[in-house]
Amino acid sequence: MIVRKWIAPVICAAVILTLGTSLFSITRTGAILDPLISRCAPRIGPDSIYQVHVLVRRGAHVLEYAILFLALGLGPLRGRPLVAFFVCIAVASLDESLQMLLPSRSGLMSDVAEDTSGTTIMMVVGMSYWECLHHVRVSARAANMGR
């Protein structure tokens, strides 16, 4: 039963660590994204295409860590957002450390802050929602016990 709660977060972390390999370097993702960007916005030049490409990659970092935090916060670490936050930081640190070992990647510890921003956004947005949800559940339990 406890193992089931960890399936989604482990899959998320595995996807994040896979995206950090040389298979998803900027050169390789550029082979897919650059033509797509050119097709969507045919009048922009190569420098602008590169900037959009980098923006998409940065946005993906934020999104993937927000999803990891959500998977942890709704799964095995429900009710322990700080623990989930630090697990996300640990995964980001591991990801960037592994990227430092790859010649096609540039793992930077400053990128951990970028990755953590997704976690922080989800924690700030999610905690207020989870607090509301918790009060609704407590009220519903109290109403059911009173019957």
Cβ burial 78-111 (10 Å sphere, 16+ → b, else e): eeebeebbebbbebbbebbeebeeeeebebeeeb
The pLDDT mean for the chain works out to 88
**Which range of residues forms the domain containing residue 32?**
2-145
- Full-model pTM: 0.83
The pLDDT, as a whole number, for residue 132 is 74
Res. 8: pLDDT tops 90: yes
Give the C-alpha separation, 30 to 26, whole Å.
6
The pLDDT, as a whole number, for residue 78 is 86
Q: Where are the beta strands (DSSP E) in 12-128?
A: none
Give the number of domains in the chain.
Answer: 1
- Tell me how long the chain is: 147
Res. 9: pLDDT tops 90: yes
The pLDDT, as a whole number, for residue 1 is 59
What percent of the chain clears pLDDT 90, i.e. is strictly above it?
Answer: 55
